[in-house]
Amino acid sequence: MRMRSILAVALLLAAAPALAEEKPIKLKPAAGLDKVEANCGACHSLDYIVMNSPFPTGSFWDTEVAKMINAFGAPIEASDAKVIVDYLKKSYGSP
């Protein structure tokens, strides 16, 4: 049993790619979606955006996008950041 399971694991590992197979996340269509996909999606899958909804309120998305730029070093242009925040507030926030 032990030998068989080790063998099975070894075979799996040999065949397995290093990366997870990421399925596309369909975000709500609205102005700015292209910027969100290009900028946010460059570093992380877009399910992170949907995960907390509908709770993000008020300045949540301002803070979150600023954190991505300032704390995590995301190379996002200021003009794009504004478009992204507007999209996120409208599509994945509540007033």
Partner 1 sequence: MEGVITRRNLLGAAGTGMALAAAGVVAREVIGTRAEAAGALALPPGLPAGTRAEARLDALPGKRPLIKLAYRPPNYETPVGYLGTAVTPNDVFFVRYHLADIPRIDASHWKLAIGGEGANGQASFDLDGLKRLPAVEVTALCQCSGNRRGLFQPHVAGVEWGYGAMGCARWKGARLKDVLDKAGVKKEAVEIVFDGADKGAVEKTPDFIKSLPLWKALEETTLVAYEMNGEPLPHWNGFPARLVVPGWTGTYWVKHLVSISVANKPFDGFWMKSAYRIPVGKFPVVSRFISQETAANTPITEMVINSLITSHADGASVKAAAPLSVTGIAWDGGYGIRTVEVSLDDGRSWQPAQLGEDLGKFALRTWSYGFTPKAGRQSVMARATNAIGQTQTAELIPNPAGYHHNVMQKITLVAR
Binding site for partner 1 (CB under 8 A): 2, 5-6, 9, 12-13, 15-23, 25, 42-45, 47-48, 50-56, 60, 64, 71-75, 92
CA distance readout (Å), 5 to 8, 9, 15, 16: 5, 6, 15, 16
Minimum CB–partner distance for residue 34 and partner 1 (Å): 19
Residue closer to partner 1 (CB basis): 5 or 79: 5
CA distance 87 to 71: 21
If residue 87 lies in a helix (H) or strand (E), which one and from where to where? helix 78-92
Minimum CB–partner distance for residue 44 and partner 1 (Å): 6
Minimum CB–partner distance for residue 86 and partner 1 (Å): 19
